[in-house]
């Protein structure tokens, strides 16, 4: 056995097989849904491992297989070069799955179920019937509702709310506005929310909802009407409330939408002392908490740092040890809320972001992409990368291919758009050593197998993007307390430190003004939030690495295992009613 409980022959075999597998990769350029040139890889029967289904996943290769990553050469490189333009922009695809293709090897929900079952197989002391009860979604509500458009016409829209688990209440999960929203998608995401909450010890069940729209097709006034009507549909079905079910932002929704949800809830409720806690991710002026906007991306940064600072994980990925952010390169798919903030904190801590993929193209610069400038450019240009100059950098290239980011030659690839971005069709083109799942479900079950065989370490979504719900939990706590964190303590902490420094000074210690400015800082709300978030992320990463080593499984299965065990313990200790 190897040091991590993985049979050595499997690791040796993976090392031997990987180069051959990679040599069979070929790439071809095709026209994508939005007219964009998209690079896909042609899978050969021998190169594509059996897609992991419910039965096959129990034999998922461990993350600990040794890696062998050949460079993208030949046809793949030529296709990438052929796709290079100085951005004659094609019309943008309406969503990430339109650009990257449906996940094969089953739906997103089937992939989540398969991971659940693979992890459950290690929970031998838990009644399998209880595990099956935990796996299933408690309820999914689908409703149609009308929208009066600005031009007076009427459109019928479809909304969903899936509540996966009531093992703890309230249930918690985002609201998504995307064409991909469906019963099956919200059920998969709701299950992930139950497990994610358990991984970071947030005392909630999981839920998810959304409306099947492309937000860009509607005016701001129409989006507000959609949000308010959607909220009223939840309200009349008892699917929203501080003790019941608490939405939050997700793909396609913003803090402004959460303000509209809160206001609608308060209007319908007729005044409520705790009404602000009916939704999180609100603007601060509406009872939101400082630090929530950046929480998920900051959590991604903490997750990357914690996982890759672990010697075993870094070694498995083929990264140097000790690993450091400043010595590493990063690629980000999707510069929305999660992707932007992850990029912001990585860059702030010295990491070099060399590639960013957005809806209508990919920008690359080996000297580093200025993510602040790119975010501003996207905001000012309707989300298009066209015309981005990166401060006039001579090494900048812009390709009209949103998927090109996935084959960027970087240490860490961070998919932060939608599920199903990396499939068996394109997994072999991934050149990163690590895929850090900032989005929910960006790596399909089949692609997981391909990446593991190639020695690419996947940092799982259950942990990586749990920062959002962690800080939402702090926001609910703030709303229920009716008090900002730090308000009672900030000045007291500063006074205590000032007294300490004065005492030291009186005993002859030299304290400069600079020392005083640095040390006399009481923790304000944001400092409390960052501290709690970092603590939660570090604990979750540490536990996941420990369980992966103990069981000899991937980090993903380890995270599922921990989460399911915690949910099962809740049921076992309280019993089933009646
Ligand atoms: P968002 O709407 O703020 O950003 C998504 C970004 O992806 C947008 O900039 C969009 O233009 C871009 N995009 C869409 N299709 C793309 C494509 N084909 N290629 C490249 N970019 C593309 O959404 P978000 O809130 O950042 O959520 C992103 C992911 O993170 C989702 O999977 C979501 O479920 C997950 N997540 C979000 C939160 C949160 O707090 N917002 C928390 C946990 C998980």
Distance 472 CA to ligand 1 centre (A): 17
Question: Is the CB of residue 361 below 6 angstroms from any atom belonging to ligand 1?
Answer: no
For residue 16, count other CB atoms closer than 10 A to its CB: 11
Question: Is the CB of residue 287 below 6 angstroms from any atom belonging to ligand 1?
Answer: no
Question: Is the CB of residue 426 below 6 angstroms from any atom belonging to ligand 1?
Answer: no
Residue 496: which pLDDT band, with cuts at 50, 70 and 90? Answer: very high
Q: What is the pLDDT of residues 443-457, one digit of tens each?
A: 999 999 999 999 999
**Percent of the chain residues topping a pLDDT of 90:** 81
Give the position, in ligand 1's atom list, of the atom nearest the Cα of 333: 20
Distance 437 CA to ligand 1 centre (A): 11
Q: What is the pLDDT of residues 308-334, one digit of tens each?
A: 999 999 999 999 999 999 999 999 999
> What's the predicted TM-score (pTM) here?
0.85
pLDDT, mean over the chain: 85
Question: Is the CB of residue 252 below 6 angstroms from any atom belonging to ligand 1?
Answer: yes
Question: Is the CB of residue 416 below 6 angstroms from any atom belonging to ligand 1?
Answer: yes
Q: What is the three-class DSSP state of 155?
A: strand
Query: 58: closest CA among 118, 1, 144?
Result: 118
What average pLDDT score do residues 290-305 get? 98
Please write down the long-range contacts of 1-9, taking CB distance under 8 Å and 24 or more positions apart. Answer: 2/64, 3/312, 4/62, 4/64, 4/312, 4/548, 4/549, 4/552, 5/549, 5/550, 5/551, 5/552, 6/62, 6/64, 6/65, 6/552
Give the position, in ligand 1's atom list, of the atom nearest the Cα of 248: 40
CA distance 261 to 257: 6
Q: What is the pLDDT of residues 16-35, one digit of tens each?
A: 333 322 222 222 222 222 22
Whose C-alpha lies nearest to ligand 1, atom 35? 439
CA distance 569 to 560: 14
pLDDT for 272: 86
Whose C-alpha lies nearest to ligand 1, atom 42? 468
pLDDT for 105: 58
26-31 and 139-148: which strand pairing?
Answer: unpaired
Give the position, in ligand 1's atom list, of the atom nearest the Cα of 442: 32
Query: 370: closest CA among 349, 344, 394?
Result: 344
Given a cut of 70, whether residue 436 has pLDDT beyond it is: yes
pLDDT for 344: 98
- What is the sign, positive or negative, of the torsion defined by CA atoms of 375, 381, 384, 390? negative
Phi-psi region of 448 (alpha: psi -120 to 50; beta: other; left: phi over 0): alpha
Note if 282 is an active site residue. no
Q: What is the pLDDT of residues 517-552, one digit of tens each?
A: 999 999 999 999 999 999 999 999 999 999 999 999
Q: What is the pLDDT of residues 43-87, one digit of tens each?
A: 222 222 322 322 222 232 333 333 333 333 333 333 333 223 222
CA distance 252 to 57: 32
Distance 397 CA to ligand 1 centre (A): 23
Q: What is the pLDDT of residues 238-289, one digit of tens each?
A: 999 999 999 999 999 999 999 999 999 999 999 789 999 999 999 999 999 9
Question: Which among 172, 196, 208, 433 is annotated as catalytic?
Answer: 208
Give the position, in ligand 1's atom list, of the atom nearest the Cα of 196: 43
């Amino acid at each position: 056995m190897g040091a991590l409980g993985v049979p050595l022959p499997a690791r040796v075999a993976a090392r031997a097989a990987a180069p051959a597998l990679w040599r069979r990769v070929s790439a071809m350029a095709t026209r994508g849904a939005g007219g964009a040139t998209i690079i896909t890889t042609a899978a050969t029967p021998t190169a594509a491992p059996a897609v992991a289904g419910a039965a096959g996943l129990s034999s998922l290769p461990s993350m600990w297989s040794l890696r062998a990553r050949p460079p993208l050469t030949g046809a793949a490189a030529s296709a990438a070069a052929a796709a290079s333009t100085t951005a004659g922009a094609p019309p943008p695809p309406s969503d990430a799955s339109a650009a990257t293709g449906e996940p094969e090897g089953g739906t997103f929900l089937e992939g989540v179920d398969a991971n659940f079952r693979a992890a459950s197989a290690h929970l031998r002391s838990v009644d399998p019937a209880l595990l099956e009860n935990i796996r299933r979604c408690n309820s999914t509500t689908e409703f149609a509702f009308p929208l009066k458009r600005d031009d007076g016409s009427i459109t019928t829209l479809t909304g969903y709310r899936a509540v996966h688990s009531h093992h703890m209440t309230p249930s918690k999960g985002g609201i998504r506005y995307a064409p991909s929203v469906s019963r099956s998608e919200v059920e998969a995401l709701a299950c992930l929310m139950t497990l994610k909450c358990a991984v970071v010890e947030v005392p909630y069940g999981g839920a998810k909802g959304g409306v099947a729209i492309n937000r860009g097709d509607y005016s701001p006034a129409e989006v507000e009407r959609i949000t308010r009507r959607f909220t009223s549909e939840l309200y009349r079905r008892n699917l929203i409330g501080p003790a019941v079910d608490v939405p939050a932002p997700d793909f396609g929704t913003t803090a402004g939408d959460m303000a509209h949800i809160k206001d609608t809830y308060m209007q319908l409720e007729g005044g409520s002392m705790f009404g602000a806690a009916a939704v999180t991710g609100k603007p601060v002026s509406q009872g939101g908490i400082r630090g929530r906007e950046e929480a998920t991306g900051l959590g991604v940064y903490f997750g990357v740092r914690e996982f890759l600072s672990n010697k075993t994980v870094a070694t498995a990925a083929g990264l140097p040890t000790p690993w450091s952010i400043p010595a590493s390169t990063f690629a980000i798919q999707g510069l929305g809320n999660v992707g932007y903030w992850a990029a912001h904190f990585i860059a702030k801590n010295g990491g070099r972001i060399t590639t960013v993929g957005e809806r209508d193209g990919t920008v690359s610069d080996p000297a580093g992409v200025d993510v602040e400038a790119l975010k501003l450019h996207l905001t000012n240009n309707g989300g298009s990368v066209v015309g981005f100059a990166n401060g006039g950098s001579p090494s900048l290239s812009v390709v009209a291919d949103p998927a090109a980011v996935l084959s960027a030659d970087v240490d860490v690839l961070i998919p932060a758009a939608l599920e199903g971005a990396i499939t068996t069709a394109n997994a072999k083109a991934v050149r990163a050593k690590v895929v850090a799942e900032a989005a929910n479900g960006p790596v399909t079950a089949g692609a997981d197998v391909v990446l593991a065989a190639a020695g690419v370490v996947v940092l799982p979504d259950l942990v990586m993007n749990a920062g959002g719900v962690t800080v939402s939990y702090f926001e609910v706590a703030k709303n229920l307390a009716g008090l900002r964190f730090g308000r009672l303590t900030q000045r007291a902490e500063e006074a205590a430190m000032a007294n300490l420094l004065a005492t030291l000074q009186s005993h002859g210690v030299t304290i400069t003004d600079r020392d005083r400015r640095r040390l006399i800082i009481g923790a304000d709300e944001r400092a409390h939030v960052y501290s709690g978030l970092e603590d939660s992320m570090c604990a979750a990463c540490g536990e996941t690495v420990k369980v992966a080593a103990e069981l000899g499984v991937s980090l993903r299965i380890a995270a599922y295992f921990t989460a399911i065990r915690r949910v099962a313990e809740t049921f076992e200790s309280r019993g089933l009613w009646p």
